[in-house]
Amino acid sequence: MAVFFVLAVCALVSVALVSYVHYASRQRRKGQAGYGHEQEVLKLPPGSMGWPYLGETLQLYSQDPNVFFASKQKRYGEIFKTHILGCPCVMLASPEAARFVLVKQANLFKPTYPRSKERMIGPSALFFHQGDYHLRIRKLVQGALGPDAMRALLPDVEAAVQSTLASWDGRVTSTFHAMKKLSFDVGIVTIFGGHLDERRKAELRMNYSIVEKGYNSFPNSLPGTLYYKAIQARRRLHGVLCEIMQERRARCEPGTDLLGCLMQAQGDDGAPLLTDEQVADNIIGVLFAAQDTTASVLTWIVKYLHDQPKLLEAVRAEHAAIRETNDGGRLPLTWAQTRSMVLTHRVILESLRMASIISFTFREAVADVEYKGFLIPKGWKVMPLFRNIHHNPDYFPDPQKFDPSRFKVAPRPNTFMPFGNGVHACPGNELAKLEMLVLIHHLVTGYRWEVVGSSDEVEYSPFPVPKHGLPVKLWREKNTMNFKSCETGNVEDIIV
Protein backbone atom coordinates (compact mmCIF):
# COMPACT_ATOMS: atom_id res chain seq x y z
CA MET A 1 0.00 0.00 0.00
CA ALA A 2 2.84 2.40 0.88
CA VAL A 3 4.59 1.67 -2.42
CA PHE A 4 1.35 2.29 -4.32
CA PHE A 5 0.88 5.62 -2.52
CA VAL A 6 4.43 6.74 -3.37
CA LEU A 7 3.98 5.76 -7.00
CA ALA A 8 0.66 7.62 -7.16
CA VAL A 9 2.22 10.77 -5.70
CA CYS A 10 5.12 10.57 -8.13
CA ALA A 11 2.69 10.19 -11.03
CA LEU A 12 0.70 13.20 -9.91
CA VAL A 13 3.84 15.30 -9.53
CA SER A 14 5.02 14.23 -12.97
CA VAL A 15 1.69 15.17 -14.54
CA ALA A 16 1.76 18.49 -12.74
CA LEU A 17 5.31 19.24 -13.94
CA VAL A 18 4.50 18.34 -17.53
CA SER A 19 1.33 20.43 -17.37
CA TYR A 20 3.25 23.31 -15.90
CA VAL A 21 5.91 23.22 -18.63
CA HIS A 22 3.18 23.16 -21.29
CA TYR A 23 1.27 25.98 -19.56
CA ALA A 24 4.38 28.15 -19.11
CA SER A 25 5.45 27.58 -22.72
CA ARG A 26 1.98 28.51 -23.97
CA GLN A 27 1.92 31.70 -21.88
CA ARG A 28 5.45 32.64 -23.03
CA ARG A 29 4.44 32.25 -26.66
CA LYS A 30 1.32 34.31 -26.05
CA GLY A 31 3.36 37.03 -24.47
CA GLN A 32 5.93 37.09 -27.27
CA ALA A 33 3.66 36.57 -30.28
CA GLY A 34 1.06 39.12 -31.25
CA TYR A 35 -1.65 40.19 -33.60
CA GLY A 36 0.61 42.51 -35.57
CA HIS A 37 4.19 43.61 -36.14
CA GLU A 38 4.10 46.18 -33.31
CA GLN A 39 3.04 43.60 -30.76
CA GLU A 40 5.93 41.25 -31.44
CA VAL A 41 7.96 43.15 -28.84
CA LEU A 42 5.24 42.94 -26.17
CA LYS A 43 5.59 40.50 -23.32
CA LEU A 44 3.63 39.55 -20.27
CA PRO A 45 4.36 41.46 -17.06
CA PRO A 46 6.90 39.89 -14.69
CA GLY A 47 5.64 37.59 -11.96
CA SER A 48 4.95 33.99 -11.03
CA MET A 49 1.98 31.88 -12.12
CA GLY A 50 2.46 29.22 -9.44
CA TRP A 51 1.25 25.65 -9.89
CA PRO A 52 -0.90 24.59 -12.85
CA TYR A 53 -4.60 25.12 -12.18
CA LEU A 54 -4.01 26.03 -8.51
CA GLY A 55 -1.78 28.97 -9.36
CA GLU A 56 -0.86 30.91 -6.22
CA THR A 57 -4.25 30.72 -4.53
CA LEU A 58 -2.87 28.69 -1.61
CA GLN A 59 -0.11 31.25 -1.02
CA LEU A 60 -2.68 34.05 -1.14
CA TYR A 61 -4.94 32.49 1.49
CA SER A 62 -2.23 31.04 3.73
CA GLN A 63 -1.19 34.54 4.84
CA ASP A 64 -2.49 38.06 5.10
CA PRO A 65 -3.55 38.87 1.50
CA ASN A 66 -2.04 42.33 1.88
CA VAL A 67 1.35 40.79 2.68
CA PHE A 68 1.03 38.58 -0.40
CA PHE A 69 0.37 41.52 -2.72
CA ALA A 70 2.96 43.78 -1.06
CA SER A 71 5.70 41.14 -1.39
CA LYS A 72 4.83 40.68 -5.06
CA GLN A 73 4.99 44.41 -5.68
CA LYS A 74 8.35 44.68 -3.89
CA ARG A 75 9.79 41.89 -6.04
CA TYR A 76 8.30 42.65 -9.45
CA GLY A 77 7.26 46.29 -9.39
CA GLU A 78 3.91 48.05 -9.84
CA ILE A 79 2.64 45.72 -12.57
CA PHE A 80 2.96 41.94 -12.21
CA LYS A 81 1.19 38.73 -13.14
CA THR A 82 -0.08 35.87 -11.00
CA HIS A 83 -2.70 33.12 -11.12
CA ILE A 84 -5.31 33.07 -8.35
CA LEU A 85 -8.87 31.82 -7.90
CA GLY A 86 -8.58 29.84 -11.13
CA CYS A 87 -7.75 32.89 -13.25
CA PRO A 88 -4.58 34.39 -14.78
CA CYS A 89 -4.35 37.94 -13.43
CA VAL A 90 -2.43 41.16 -13.92
CA MET A 91 -2.04 43.22 -10.74
CA LEU A 92 -1.66 46.98 -10.93
CA ALA A 93 -0.35 49.00 -7.98
CA SER A 94 0.12 52.52 -9.30
CA PRO A 95 -2.34 55.45 -9.48
CA GLU A 96 -1.72 55.81 -13.22
CA ALA A 97 -2.49 52.15 -13.87
CA ALA A 98 -5.66 52.26 -11.76
CA ARG A 99 -6.86 55.30 -13.72
CA PHE A 100 -5.98 53.58 -17.02
CA VAL A 101 -8.19 50.58 -16.17
CA LEU A 102 -11.03 52.27 -14.29
CA VAL A 103 -11.35 55.61 -16.10
CA LYS A 104 -9.21 56.29 -19.17
CA GLN A 105 -9.70 52.94 -20.94
CA ALA A 106 -12.64 51.60 -18.92
CA ASN A 107 -14.29 50.37 -22.13
CA LEU A 108 -11.51 47.79 -22.50
CA PHE A 109 -12.10 46.26 -19.06
CA LYS A 110 -15.45 44.88 -17.98
CA PRO A 111 -16.50 44.20 -14.39
CA THR A 112 -16.39 40.52 -13.63
CA TYR A 113 -17.64 38.29 -10.84
CA PRO A 114 -17.87 34.52 -10.38
CA ARG A 115 -21.08 33.10 -11.85
CA SER A 116 -22.14 31.79 -8.44
CA LYS A 117 -22.10 35.31 -6.99
CA GLU A 118 -24.06 36.76 -9.91
CA ARG A 119 -26.68 34.08 -9.34
CA MET A 120 -26.81 34.89 -5.62
CA ILE A 121 -27.40 38.62 -6.06
CA GLY A 122 -29.11 38.60 -9.43
CA PRO A 123 -27.66 38.91 -12.96
CA SER A 124 -29.37 42.26 -13.59
CA ALA A 125 -27.69 44.06 -10.64
CA LEU A 126 -25.96 47.19 -11.92
CA PHE A 127 -22.41 46.26 -10.89
CA PHE A 128 -22.41 43.21 -13.18
CA HIS A 129 -22.90 45.41 -16.26
CA GLN A 130 -21.40 48.14 -18.36
CA GLY A 131 -22.66 50.30 -21.19
CA ASP A 132 -26.10 51.87 -21.54
CA TYR A 133 -27.94 49.59 -19.10
CA HIS A 134 -25.37 50.22 -16.39
CA LEU A 135 -25.39 53.99 -16.91
CA ARG A 136 -29.19 54.19 -16.72
CA ILE A 137 -29.42 52.16 -13.50
CA ARG A 138 -26.51 54.02 -11.96
CA LYS A 139 -28.19 57.35 -12.72
CA LEU A 140 -31.38 56.15 -11.01
CA VAL A 141 -29.50 54.96 -7.91
CA GLN A 142 -27.47 58.16 -7.69
CA GLY A 143 -30.65 60.21 -8.03
CA ALA A 144 -32.20 58.37 -5.10
CA LEU A 145 -29.02 58.93 -3.05
CA GLY A 146 -28.34 62.55 -4.01
CA PRO A 147 -28.00 65.53 -1.62
CA ASP A 148 -31.75 66.18 -1.39
CA ALA A 149 -32.42 62.53 -0.60
CA MET A 150 -29.62 62.53 2.01
CA ARG A 151 -31.17 65.53 3.76
CA ALA A 152 -34.50 63.73 3.90
CA LEU A 153 -32.86 60.52 5.16
CA LEU A 154 -30.89 62.18 7.96
CA PRO A 155 -33.60 61.78 10.65
CA ASP A 156 -33.97 58.07 9.80
CA VAL A 157 -30.20 57.50 9.88
CA GLU A 158 -30.01 59.28 13.23
CA ALA A 159 -32.87 57.19 14.63
CA ALA A 160 -31.17 53.97 13.48
CA VAL A 161 -27.88 55.03 15.11
CA GLN A 162 -29.57 55.92 18.40
CA SER A 163 -31.46 52.62 18.43
CA THR A 164 -28.28 50.62 17.77
CA LEU A 165 -26.34 52.34 20.55
CA ALA A 166 -29.23 52.08 23.03
CA SER A 167 -29.51 48.32 22.45
CA TRP A 168 -25.75 47.99 23.00
CA ASP A 169 -25.70 50.02 26.23
CA GLY A 170 -24.24 48.10 29.18
CA ARG A 171 -23.33 44.99 27.18
CA VAL A 172 -20.31 43.45 25.50
CA THR A 173 -21.00 42.73 21.86
CA SER A 174 -19.21 42.39 18.54
CA THR A 175 -18.85 45.85 17.07
CA PHE A 176 -18.97 44.43 13.57
CA HIS A 177 -22.26 42.63 14.20
CA ALA A 178 -23.78 45.76 15.74
CA MET A 179 -22.62 47.82 12.76
CA LYS A 180 -24.04 45.26 10.32
CA LYS A 181 -27.43 45.63 11.96
CA LEU A 182 -27.13 49.42 11.73
CA SER A 183 -26.11 49.34 8.06
CA PHE A 184 -28.94 46.94 7.22
CA ASP A 185 -31.49 49.22 8.93
CA VAL A 186 -30.15 52.25 7.05
CA GLY A 187 -30.25 50.27 3.80
CA ILE A 188 -33.87 49.28 4.41
CA VAL A 189 -35.02 52.85 5.07
CA THR A 190 -33.06 54.06 2.02
CA ILE A 191 -34.69 51.50 -0.27
CA PHE A 192 -38.23 51.46 1.14
CA GLY A 193 -38.55 54.80 2.91
CA GLY A 194 -40.73 54.65 6.00
CA HIS A 195 -43.37 52.48 4.33
CA LEU A 196 -42.25 48.97 5.28
CA ASP A 197 -44.04 47.15 8.08
CA GLU A 198 -42.18 45.15 10.73
CA ARG A 199 -43.28 41.79 9.31
CA ARG A 200 -41.74 42.58 5.94
CA LYS A 201 -38.56 43.86 7.59
CA ALA A 202 -38.23 40.63 9.56
CA GLU A 203 -38.73 38.56 6.39
CA LEU A 204 -36.10 40.53 4.52
CA ARG A 205 -33.64 40.41 7.41
CA MET A 206 -34.01 36.65 7.92
CA ASN A 207 -33.64 35.69 4.27
CA TYR A 208 -30.87 38.19 3.60
CA SER A 209 -28.92 36.73 6.52
CA ILE A 210 -29.14 33.24 4.98
CA VAL A 211 -28.08 34.56 1.56
CA GLU A 212 -25.13 36.36 3.11
CA LYS A 213 -23.88 33.20 4.86
CA GLY A 214 -23.88 31.32 1.58
CA TYR A 215 -22.48 34.11 -0.57
CA ASN A 216 -18.83 33.17 0.00
CA SER A 217 -19.39 29.45 0.45
CA PHE A 218 -18.36 26.77 -2.05
CA PRO A 219 -21.05 26.75 -4.79
CA ASN A 220 -22.40 23.29 -4.03
CA SER A 221 -26.08 23.00 -4.94
CA LEU A 222 -26.70 19.82 -2.95
CA PRO A 223 -29.61 20.18 -0.47
CA GLY A 224 -28.44 21.12 3.00
CA THR A 225 -25.34 23.05 1.94
CA LEU A 226 -24.93 26.75 2.73
CA TYR A 227 -25.03 27.57 -0.96
CA TYR A 228 -28.25 25.62 -1.51
CA LYS A 229 -29.91 27.29 1.49
CA ALA A 230 -28.76 30.68 0.24
CA ILE A 231 -30.25 30.11 -3.23
CA GLN A 232 -33.58 29.15 -1.64
CA ALA A 233 -33.50 32.25 0.58
CA ARG A 234 -32.63 34.38 -2.44
CA ARG A 235 -35.80 33.13 -4.16
CA ARG A 236 -37.83 34.04 -1.08
CA LEU A 237 -36.26 37.51 -1.10
CA HIS A 238 -37.33 37.91 -4.71
CA GLY A 239 -40.86 36.84 -3.78
CA VAL A 240 -41.09 39.33 -0.90
CA LEU A 241 -39.86 42.17 -3.11
CA CYS A 242 -42.36 41.32 -5.85
CA GLU A 243 -45.19 41.30 -3.28
CA ILE A 244 -44.14 44.75 -2.04
CA MET A 245 -44.11 46.09 -5.62
CA GLN A 246 -47.55 44.60 -6.31
CA GLU A 247 -48.96 46.15 -3.15
CA ARG A 248 -47.58 49.57 -4.12
CA ARG A 249 -49.11 49.33 -7.58
CA ALA A 250 -52.46 48.29 -6.12
CA ARG A 251 -52.41 51.46 -3.97
CA CYS A 252 -51.14 53.53 -6.93
CA GLU A 253 -48.30 54.65 -4.65
CA PRO A 254 -44.95 53.55 -6.11
CA GLY A 255 -43.12 55.91 -3.74
CA THR A 256 -40.22 58.35 -4.04
CA ASP A 257 -37.64 56.08 -2.37
CA LEU A 258 -35.12 53.97 -4.28
CA LEU A 259 -37.63 51.17 -4.92
CA GLY A 260 -40.15 53.68 -6.25
CA CYS A 261 -37.53 55.27 -8.53
CA LEU A 262 -36.66 51.90 -10.07
CA MET A 263 -40.31 50.92 -10.44
CA GLN A 264 -41.22 54.16 -12.23
CA ALA A 265 -38.18 54.36 -14.52
CA GLN A 266 -39.10 54.53 -18.20
CA GLY A 267 -37.22 53.78 -21.38
CA ASP A 268 -37.01 56.04 -24.41
CA ASP A 269 -40.29 54.62 -25.69
CA GLY A 270 -42.15 55.41 -22.46
CA ALA A 271 -42.41 51.75 -21.46
CA PRO A 272 -41.13 50.57 -18.06
CA LEU A 273 -37.35 50.43 -18.15
CA LEU A 274 -37.09 47.47 -15.76
CA THR A 275 -39.02 44.29 -15.16
CA ASP A 276 -39.88 43.34 -11.58
CA GLU A 277 -37.10 40.76 -11.69
CA GLN A 278 -34.58 43.40 -12.71
CA VAL A 279 -35.80 45.73 -9.98
CA ALA A 280 -35.46 42.94 -7.41
CA ASP A 281 -31.90 42.13 -8.59
CA ASN A 282 -30.85 45.74 -8.15
CA ILE A 283 -32.51 46.10 -4.74
CA ILE A 284 -30.72 42.97 -3.47
CA GLY A 285 -27.49 44.31 -4.98
CA VAL A 286 -27.85 47.59 -3.11
CA LEU A 287 -28.47 45.72 0.15
CA PHE A 288 -25.27 43.75 -0.38
CA ALA A 289 -23.25 46.83 -1.32
CA ALA A 290 -24.56 48.84 1.63
CA GLN A 291 -23.94 46.45 4.50
CA ASP A 292 -20.62 44.67 5.05
CA THR A 293 -18.35 47.34 3.59
CA THR A 294 -19.88 50.16 5.64
CA ALA A 295 -20.06 47.97 8.76
CA SER A 296 -16.36 47.13 8.39
CA VAL A 297 -15.33 50.79 8.19
CA LEU A 298 -17.54 51.70 11.16
CA THR A 299 -15.87 48.93 13.18
CA TRP A 300 -12.40 50.24 12.36
CA ILE A 301 -13.45 53.79 13.28
CA VAL A 302 -14.49 52.58 16.75
CA LYS A 303 -11.11 50.88 17.14
CA TYR A 304 -9.01 53.79 15.83
CA LEU A 305 -10.74 56.29 18.13
CA HIS A 306 -10.36 53.94 21.10
CA ASP A 307 -6.63 53.51 20.39
CA GLN A 308 -5.96 57.27 20.13
CA PRO A 309 -7.20 58.94 23.36
CA LYS A 310 -5.98 62.44 22.45
CA LEU A 311 -7.63 62.26 19.06
CA LEU A 312 -10.82 60.94 20.66
CA GLU A 313 -10.96 63.92 23.03
CA ALA A 314 -10.46 66.33 20.13
CA VAL A 315 -13.31 64.66 18.24
CA ARG A 316 -15.45 64.83 21.38
CA ALA A 317 -14.77 68.55 21.63
CA GLU A 318 -15.90 69.08 18.04
CA HIS A 319 -19.15 67.23 18.67
CA ALA A 320 -19.76 68.70 22.13
CA ALA A 321 -20.02 72.12 20.49
CA ILE A 322 -22.62 70.78 18.06
CA ARG A 323 -24.50 69.05 20.87
CA GLU A 324 -24.57 72.28 22.86
CA THR A 325 -26.21 74.17 19.99
CA ASN A 326 -28.79 71.36 19.82
CA ASP A 327 -30.04 72.06 23.34
CA GLY A 328 -27.78 69.47 24.90
CA GLY A 329 -28.70 66.84 22.35
CA ARG A 330 -32.46 67.23 22.65
CA LEU A 331 -32.70 68.57 19.10
CA PRO A 332 -31.83 66.43 16.06
CA LEU A 333 -28.76 66.91 13.94
CA THR A 334 -29.10 69.16 10.92
CA TRP A 335 -27.66 68.65 7.47
CA ALA A 336 -25.49 71.76 7.89
CA GLN A 337 -24.04 70.36 11.10
CA THR A 338 -22.99 67.14 9.38
CA ARG A 339 -21.16 69.26 6.81
CA SER A 340 -19.30 71.19 9.58
CA MET A 341 -17.58 68.19 11.23
CA VAL A 342 -14.14 68.98 9.80
CA LEU A 343 -11.94 66.88 12.09
CA THR A 344 -14.42 64.01 12.05
CA HIS A 345 -14.43 64.00 8.28
CA ARG A 346 -10.65 63.68 8.28
CA VAL A 347 -10.90 60.79 10.75
CA ILE A 348 -13.27 59.04 8.37
CA LEU A 349 -10.98 59.57 5.38
CA GLU A 350 -7.96 58.27 7.30
CA SER A 351 -9.98 55.27 8.50
CA LEU A 352 -10.93 54.51 4.90
CA ARG A 353 -7.28 54.75 3.87
CA MET A 354 -5.86 52.69 6.73
CA ALA A 355 -8.48 49.93 6.61
CA SER A 356 -8.83 49.90 2.80
CA ILE A 357 -11.87 47.63 3.05
CA ILE A 358 -11.96 47.22 -0.73
CA SER A 359 -8.35 46.07 -1.20
CA PHE A 360 -8.77 45.55 -4.95
CA THR A 361 -11.39 45.24 -7.64
CA PHE A 362 -11.84 42.74 -10.46
CA ARG A 363 -11.94 43.65 -14.13
CA GLU A 364 -11.51 41.52 -17.23
CA ALA A 365 -9.76 42.58 -20.44
CA VAL A 366 -12.22 42.42 -23.35
CA ALA A 367 -9.35 42.64 -25.88
CA ASP A 368 -5.58 42.36 -25.91
CA VAL A 369 -4.37 45.57 -24.25
CA GLU A 370 -0.95 47.16 -24.16
CA TYR A 371 0.09 49.01 -21.02
CA LYS A 372 3.59 50.45 -20.60
CA GLY A 373 5.08 47.95 -23.02
CA PHE A 374 3.38 44.93 -21.44
CA LEU A 375 0.64 42.75 -22.87
CA ILE A 376 -2.57 42.24 -20.91
CA PRO A 377 -4.17 39.35 -22.83
CA LYS A 378 -7.87 39.25 -23.60
CA GLY A 379 -9.78 37.31 -20.94
CA TRP A 380 -7.23 37.89 -18.19
CA LYS A 381 -8.43 39.39 -14.92
CA VAL A 382 -7.03 42.82 -14.10
CA MET A 383 -6.91 43.94 -10.48
CA PRO A 384 -6.06 47.51 -9.41
CA LEU A 385 -4.68 47.15 -5.87
CA PHE A 386 -6.23 50.01 -3.91
CA ARG A 387 -4.66 49.06 -0.59
CA ASN A 388 -1.15 48.97 -2.03
CA ILE A 389 -1.66 52.48 -3.37
CA HIS A 390 -3.19 53.73 -0.10
CA HIS A 391 -0.22 52.35 1.85
CA ASN A 392 2.50 53.55 -0.49
CA PRO A 393 4.88 55.92 1.40
CA ASP A 394 5.44 57.89 -1.80
CA TYR A 395 1.85 59.12 -1.56
CA PHE A 396 1.16 58.78 2.19
CA PRO A 397 4.31 59.22 4.34
CA ASP A 398 4.56 56.80 7.29
CA PRO A 399 1.52 54.91 5.89
CA GLN A 400 1.05 52.61 8.92
CA LYS A 401 0.48 55.59 11.22
CA PHE A 402 -3.12 56.71 11.79
CA ASP A 403 -2.90 60.43 11.07
CA PRO A 404 -6.06 62.31 10.03
CA SER A 405 -4.06 65.54 9.63
CA ARG A 406 -2.65 64.19 6.36
CA PHE A 407 -6.06 65.00 4.82
CA LYS A 408 -5.74 68.72 5.55
CA VAL A 409 -4.39 68.73 2.01
CA ALA A 410 -6.16 66.81 -0.74
CA PRO A 411 -4.30 63.64 -1.81
CA ARG A 412 -2.66 63.46 -5.21
CA PRO A 413 -5.09 62.45 -7.97
CA ASN A 414 -5.86 58.71 -8.15
CA THR A 415 -3.95 57.90 -4.94
CA PHE A 416 -7.05 57.70 -2.71
CA MET A 417 -9.87 55.52 -4.00
CA PRO A 418 -11.76 54.03 -1.03
CA PHE A 419 -14.97 53.81 -3.08
CA GLY A 420 -13.34 52.87 -6.37
CA ASN A 421 -13.05 55.16 -9.36
CA GLY A 422 -14.69 55.80 -12.71
CA VAL A 423 -18.17 54.79 -13.82
CA HIS A 424 -18.24 51.84 -11.42
CA ALA A 425 -17.32 53.83 -8.31
CA CYS A 426 -19.71 53.20 -5.41
CA PRO A 427 -22.84 55.37 -5.96
CA GLY A 428 -23.71 55.17 -2.24
CA ASN A 429 -20.49 56.64 -0.85
CA GLU A 430 -22.17 59.81 0.48
CA LEU A 431 -24.77 57.75 2.34
CA ALA A 432 -21.98 55.68 3.90
CA LYS A 433 -20.15 58.83 5.02
CA LEU A 434 -23.35 60.27 6.48
CA GLU A 435 -23.85 57.07 8.47
CA MET A 436 -20.29 57.38 9.81
CA LEU A 437 -20.67 61.04 10.78
CA VAL A 438 -23.93 60.45 12.64
CA LEU A 439 -22.60 57.37 14.45
CA ILE A 440 -19.47 59.18 15.61
CA HIS A 441 -21.53 62.13 16.87
CA HIS A 442 -23.78 60.05 19.10
CA LEU A 443 -21.02 57.63 20.12
CA VAL A 444 -18.55 60.24 21.39
CA THR A 445 -21.11 62.58 23.00
CA GLY A 446 -23.21 59.96 24.73
CA TYR A 447 -21.06 56.89 25.42
CA ARG A 448 -17.77 55.46 26.61
CA TRP A 449 -16.40 52.14 25.46
CA GLU A 450 -13.63 49.63 26.09
CA VAL A 451 -12.28 46.95 23.77
CA VAL A 452 -12.45 43.47 25.32
CA GLY A 453 -9.35 41.39 24.58
CA SER A 454 -6.74 42.00 21.91
CA SER A 455 -7.69 44.15 18.92
CA ASP A 456 -4.47 43.87 16.91
CA GLU A 457 -5.28 40.72 14.93
CA VAL A 458 -7.32 40.89 11.72
CA GLU A 459 -9.74 38.41 10.18
CA TYR A 460 -11.44 38.42 6.79
CA SER A 461 -15.15 37.77 6.45
CA PRO A 462 -14.54 38.55 3.56
CA PHE A 463 -13.64 42.17 4.35
CA PRO A 464 -10.94 42.92 6.93
CA VAL A 465 -12.19 43.50 10.49
CA PRO A 466 -10.50 43.21 13.89
CA LYS A 467 -10.57 39.67 15.23
CA HIS A 468 -13.95 38.47 16.58
CA GLY A 469 -15.51 41.63 15.16
CA LEU A 470 -13.92 43.82 17.88
CA PRO A 471 -15.77 42.87 21.10
CA VAL A 472 -16.56 46.10 22.94
CA LYS A 473 -18.29 46.99 26.18
CA LEU A 474 -20.32 50.15 25.72
CA TRP A 475 -21.98 52.24 28.42
CA ARG A 476 -23.87 55.48 28.47
CA GLU A 477 -22.01 58.51 29.79
CA LYS A 478 -23.79 59.61 32.98
CA ASN A 479 -22.11 62.97 33.42
CA THR A 480 -22.49 66.08 31.34
CA MET A 481 -19.27 66.55 29.40
CA ASN A 482 -17.89 69.99 28.60
CA PHE A 483 -14.94 70.18 26.27
CA LYS A 484 -12.83 73.26 25.72
CA SER A 485 -10.43 73.48 22.81
CA CYS A 486 -7.79 76.22 22.76
CA GLU A 487 -6.23 77.67 19.65
CA THR A 488 -3.30 75.22 19.72
CA GLY A 489 -5.73 72.31 19.45
CA ASN A 490 -5.24 70.98 22.98
CA VAL A 491 -8.39 69.63 24.57
CA GLU A 492 -9.34 69.92 28.24
CA ASP A 493 -11.88 67.47 29.61
CA ILE A 494 -13.91 68.96 32.47
CA ILE A 495 -16.45 66.75 34.28
CA VAL A 496 -19.22 68.84 35.84
Predicted local confidence at residue 427, as pLDDT: 87
CA separation for the pair 273, 177 (Å, rounded): 37
Tell me the C-alpha to C-alpha distance, in Å, between residue 452 and each of 121, 152, 181, 256, 456: 35, 37, 20, 43, 12
* Per-residue pLDDT reduced to its tens digit, 144-194: 888 888 999 999 999 999 999 999 999 999 999 999 999 999 999 999 987
Q: How many whole angstroms separate alpha carbon 166 and alpha carbon 168?
A: 5
Mean pLDDT confidence for 349-368: 93
Q: What is the pLDDT confidence band of residue 23, given thresholds at 50, 70 and 90?
A: very low
Rg of the chain on CA atoms, in Å = 25
pLDDT in tens, 232-278: 999 999 999 999 999 999 999 888 899 999 999 988 888 889 999 99
Residue 112: pLDDT band (50, 70, 90) is: confident
Contacts of 398 (CB under 8 A, 6+ apart): none
Does the pLDDT at position 279 exceed 70? yes
Res. 22: pLDDT tops 80: no
- Within 367-484, residue ranges assigned H as helices are 386-390, 429-446
DSSP 3-state assignment of 205?
A: helix
Provide the pLDDT for residue 479: 65
Distance from C-alpha of 195 to C-alpha of 258, rounded to nearest angstrom: 12
Contact 172, 292 (CB under 8 A): no
pLDDT at site 483: 44
User: Does the structure show a pLDDT above 70 at 303?
Assistant: yes
Residue 122 backbone zone (phi > 0: left; psi -120 to 50: alpha; other: beta): left
Q: Name residue 129's amino acid.
A: H
Amino acid in position 371:
Y
**Mean of the per-residue pLDDT values of the chain:** 86
24, pLDDT greater than 70: no
Asked if residue 416 has pLDDT above 50, the reply is yes
Q: Domains in the chain, please, with CATH?
A: 2-121 (no CATH), 126-195+255-356+391-495 (1.10.630.10)
Closest C-alpha to 208, from 269, 118, 284: 284
Nearest to 406 by CA among 343, 354, 351, 350: 350
The rounded percent of the chain whose pLDDT value lies above 90 is 63
Q: What is the 3-state secondary structure (H, E, C) of 413-435?
A: CCCCCCCCCHHHCCCCHHHHHHH
Mean pLDDT (whole number) for 87-112? 93
Model pLDDT, residue 302:
98
Q: What are the tens digits of pLDDT across the range 76-94? A: 999 999 998 778 999 999 9
Does pLDDT of 26 surpass 70?
Answer: no
Could you give phi then psi for residue 360, rounded to 5 degrees? -160, 170
Distances (CA, A) of 110 to 9, 101, 102, 136, 379: 40, 9, 9, 17, 10
Residue 403: is its pLDDT beyond 80?
A: yes
Of 49, 88, 54, the closest CA to residue 72 belongs to: 49
426 annotated among ligand-binding-site residues? yes
Mean pLDDT value across residues 446-464? 87
Alpha-carbon distance values, 334 to 124, 150, 185, 239, 434 (Å): 36, 11, 20, 37, 11
Strand 447-451 to strand 369-371: parallel, antiparallel, or no bridges (unpaired)? Answer: unpaired
Given a cut of 80, is residue 103 above it in pLDDT? yes
Omega into 46 within 30° of 0, i.e. cis? no
444 or 56, which is more confident = 444
CA distance 304 to 383: 28
What whole-number distance in Å separates Cα of residue 412 and Cα of residue 419?
Answer: 16
Give the tens place of pLDDT for each residue, 195-242: 788 899 999 999 999 998 888 777 788 899 999 999 999 999 999 999
The burial of 360, by beta-carbon neighbours within 10 Å (0-12 exposed, 13-18 middle, 19 or more buried), is given as buried
Q: Which residues contact 99 (CB under 8 A, 6 or more apart)?
A: 413, 414, 421
Q: Residue 319's closest CA among 442, 160, 476, 436?
A: 442
Q: How confident is the model at residue 40 (pLDDT cuts 50, 70, 90)?
A: low
